[in-house]
Amino acid sequence: MWLSDFRVVLPDQSLAHGSVRIEDGKIAEIRDGAVPGAEVDGAGLTLIPGLVDLHGDMLEREIEPRPGAPFPVDLALFELDKRLAGAGFTTAFTALSFAWDEEDNKRSDAVTRKIIDTVNELHDSLLVDTYVHGRFEVTNLQVGPLLSELVDAKKVHLVSVMDHTPGRGQYKDVKKYVEFIIKWLGVTKDDIEPQFLEDRINARVAKQQARAWSWDIVRDVIRIAKGHGYAVASHDDDTAAKVDELADMGMTISEFPVTREAAERAKARGMQVVMGSPNLLRGYSHSGNLSALEAVEAGLVDILAVDYYPATSLHAPFALEERGVLPLHEAVKLVTANPANAVNLTDRGEIVVGKRADLALVEAGTHRRVRGTIREGQPIFWDNEMARRGIPTLVS
């Protein structure tokens, strides 16, 4: 099957009128120029690798879109899967948290385990190649053995280690933590007693102080993950010293560093630095931390993650090109090749002969949109515009 006359974004350049042939689910040939009689006409469209995301927090919200109104996990997963395919994703890691504390029932160990089991059971029936990113809150030490078990069973495929104790990491500013809790609970300051927030903060800090951080548990998780070829990420790094400590343990990814100092140290240690694409498009962090745009401009970012808003993964690289920050072929790597390589999925993320034919067909005008998404040579999303241009011959 030929896709002809696209702006084709290759690893080192863009072809203004390029064509790509797909055979047996892989990229078989690339030409600079249109191909007569091609199955799919791409005139005016841009062809990029299928989007790869390492950290999307959407599934929990899909399961319970309003507090106290949960839906079945399988229904939520299939609905999210359709939206991801329509947004150009071909690989995604759904980030799932275990309970931060006893009050957080939606993230209880049993609930999270059920979600993880469902994602794995339904993997082969999903449009997008979907994996599990397990978020390990270090103050929740009882999760360590469960997480180790799930990683060893190959049900969790990426682990991030984090500390959301107020006054540290993302919530180094305790006021920001208070604002987060109010939004998370869906209330206003007037709806709850000030003492409630103070008690909640004090309880979390007390738990932190009462439990010595069992880095032996963290090291066990890292050892098991690496034994299966899985990556382990740090999360919300705020100091160079913290980065050094975690890099020495074997973590190779630094997610959402909250200060420039931490991002610079992570780069110096050879870690892959992840920032949020919503942060980049908005131009600032909603938590008042490091700006993703400033970090990209400083050459400190390797990967952009959707965090809480999937659509931003498509818009971010084009925005970086328009602003003159990066050429498109470099900007696209932040959401395709770089995240894929960071988690050892080296068979995808680039339009290169021999790699998987995971592709997104993009109308890159004022209002960017995905017109079609192809995974391993098979269309998983194909809109009316692409149907008008050509119905692809499916490759078995």
According to the model, what pLDDT value does residue 363 have? Answer: 97
Q: What is the pLDDT of residues 329-380, one digit of tens each?
A: 999 999 999 999 999 999 999 999 999 999 999 999 888 999 999 999 999 9
Q: Is pTM, for the whole model, over 0.85?
A: yes
Q: Is the dihedral of CA 373, 374, 380, 383 positive or negative?
A: positive
Does any domain span residue 180?
no
Between CA 80 and CA 90 the distance in angstroms is 13
User: Under DSSP, is residue 153 helix (H, G, I), strand (E, B) or coil?
Assistant: coil
On whether both 157 and 236 belong to a single domain, the answer is yes
What letter represents residue 178's amino acid?
A: V
For residue 83, what is the domain's CATH number? 3.20.20.140
On whether both 223 and 107 belong to a single domain, the answer is yes
Between CA 155 and CA 381 the distance in angstroms is 27
On whether both 115 and 39 belong to a single domain, the answer is no
Does any domain span residue 174?
no
Does any domain span residue 194?
no
Residues of the chain short of pLDDT 50, as ranges, are: 102, 104, 166-167, 169, 209-211, 395-396
Domain span at residue 295 reads 51-163+214-342
On whether both 25 and 38 belong to a single domain, the answer is yes
On whether both 378 and 237 belong to a single domain, the answer is no
For residue 23, what is the domain's CATH number? 2.30.40.10
Does any domain span residue 124?
yes
On whether both 266 and 331 belong to a single domain, the answer is yes
Q: Say if residues 132 and 96 touch (Cβ distance below 8 Å).
A: yes
On whether both 360 and 315 belong to a single domain, the answer is no
Between CA 200 and CA 347 the distance in angstroms is 46
User: Under DSSP, is residue 326 helix (H, G, I), strand (E, B) or coil?
Assistant: coil
**How many beta carbons lie within 10 A of that of residue 169, not counting itself?**
23
According to the model, what pLDDT value does residue 394 have? Answer: 55
**How many beta carbons lie within 10 A of that of residue 396, not counting itself?**
6
On whether both 226 and 273 belong to a single domain, the answer is yes
Phi, psi of 370 (to 5 degrees): -90, 125
On whether both 335 and 363 belong to a single domain, the answer is no
Nearest partner of 315 among 367, 241, 257, 387, judged by Cα: 367
On whether both 337 and 357 belong to a single domain, the answer is no
Please return the burial class of 355, using the count of CB atoms within 10 Å of its CB with bins 0-12, 13-18 and 19+: middle
Does any domain span residue 193?
no
Between CA 3 and CA 334 the distance in angstroms is 24
Query: How many alpha carbons lie under 13 Å from residue 288 in its C-beta half-sphere?
Result: 10
For residue 386, what is the enclosing H or E element? helix 384-389
According to the model, what pLDDT value does residue 140 have? Answer: 74
On whether both 227 and 306 belong to a single domain, the answer is yes
On whether both 15 and 111 belong to a single domain, the answer is no
